Amino acid sequence: MIPFVFHFSYFRGSTLWKWTDLHTLCILSCHEKAKAERIIVHYDMDGDGPAWDEVKKFEFVEWRKVSPLWEINGHAITDQRIAADYFRLCILESEGGFYADLDFVFLKSFETLRHNQAIIGTQCPQKFKLACGLMGAVPHSAFIKAYLESYKEWNPAAEKKFWIHANVIPWNLSKLHPVTVLPRKIFYPLAWSNKTFWAGKPICMNNAMAIHLWESKHPDITKEVLTKTPLGSTIHEMLYGLPPLVHKCDPATISFD
């Protein structure tokens, strides 16, 4: 079974990436909704600010200070997302568990996913893209090993085509190695291009176990912003203990890939 531990990366690198409310909500929802038995945050240096001070008080979080590999095949990595993706595969291969980006909000327990050898979510089936943002695996999974092996061909030119390793390569490997590919609605019910969600318009999350919020496109996400979206009731429940409201969708007007 997949170990019921969740891993996250917080690599500030040269950009001094700031810990935000969204990251804290991600960790909190992992504990309360995904029901993780352990939560480990791998980080390269301390953060700062109120959100960082708040999350450091969470007793259910294990903080593991690491020195991530900032080069692959002797080539320097300038994009910290690539360093985090490579590190993610190393941890999944050696320790197993679930590994997620910090811009997810978890909605349901992941217990039912643990019987798989490996899992990954679909980002866009029409463009043959899976998404490495949230994966799970048993230690030494054949899929994760092959994914890690694919980085032997990485070079600085590949950094400009970030999505190849993040999306296309896992799609190709999923045809060759044991991995459960989950439909888009499970982890990615919110499309990258969706604008109405942020204006409070509902999307269907009935089957979603987590929702990716695309922080790179919406870097100013706060608790206040999220309470005005269809996630509002979930956020209120986690923060204030209020019962959630039910958000319904009209199957005649909303569809998924």
CATH at residue 163: 3.90.550.20
Pick from 63, 22, 7: which is nearest to 221 by CA? 22
What is the full DSSP assignment across 80-97? HHHHHHHHHHHHHHHT-E
Residues listed for the chain: 257
**Is 54:30 a contact under the CB 8 Å cutoff?**
no
CB neighbour list of residue 252: distance below 8 Å, 6 or more residues apart: none
Taking the chain, what is the end-to-end CA distance rounded to the nearest angstrom? 29
Q: Flag whether 218 is in a domain.
A: no
Q: Flag whether 207 is in a domain.
A: no
Q: Flag whether 234 is in a domain.
A: no
- The DSSP secondary-structure symbol of 122 reads E
Q: State the Cα–Cα distance between residues 129 and 132, nearest whole angstrom.
A: 10
Q: Flag whether 189 is in a domain.
A: no
Q: Flag whether 79 is in a domain.
A: yes
Q: Flag whether 210 is in a domain.
A: no
pLDDT of the residue at 8: 98
Q: How many domains does the chain have?
A: 1
Residue 79, domain extent: 5-182
pLDDT of the residue at 239: 83
Q: Flag whether 167 is in a domain.
A: yes
pLDDT of the residue at 255: 33
User: Can you give the pTM of this predicted structure?
Assistant: 0.91
Q: Tell me the pLDDT of the chain (257 aa) as tens digits.
A: 999 999 999 998 878 889 999 999 999 999 999 999 999 999 999 999 999 999 999 999 999 999 887 888 888 888 888 889 999 999 999 999 999 999 999 999 999 999 999 999 999 999 999 999 999 999 999 999 999 999 988 888 877 788 899 999 999 999 999 999 999 999 999 999 999 999 999 999 999 999 999 999 988 898 899 999 999 988 888 888 754 444 434 433 333 33
Q: State the Cα–Cα distance between residues 215 and 202, nearest whole angstrom.
A: 19
Q: State the Cα–Cα distance between residues 119 and 138, nearest whole angstrom.
A: 10
Q: Which residue has the tokens 């909000």?
A: 105
Q: Which residue has the tokens 């007007």?
A: 253
pLDDT of the residue at 70: 84
